[in-house]
Amino acid sequence: MRSPWATGLMLLIALLVQCGTAAAEDRWEPDIRRFEAAPVVAGGVVFYGSSTFRL
């Protein structure tokens, strides 16, 4: 059985990680849109969802 302070600490860490991830996603969105709009170069790598394709 965990002590109450250990459970509280784990919940706090989980909240901080989740908030940090959401903030990072907001910062990455412009870069992702720019990357997706760029023309594909011959011999380049294309990321589609979780798959990677080499042209």
pLDDT at 51: 66
- Angle 23-44-54 from CA coordinates, rounded to 5°: 95
Q: Residue 1: what pLDDT?
A: 59
Whether this model's pTM surpasses 0.75: no
C-alpha distance from residue 52 to each of 11, 31, 36, 40, 44 (Å)? 35, 18, 13, 13, 10
Domain that holds residue 24: 4-54
Residues of the chain with pLDDT under 50: none
The pLDDT of residue 55 is: 57
pLDDT of residue 39: 77
Burial class (CB in 10 A: 0-12, 13-18, 19+), 19: exposed
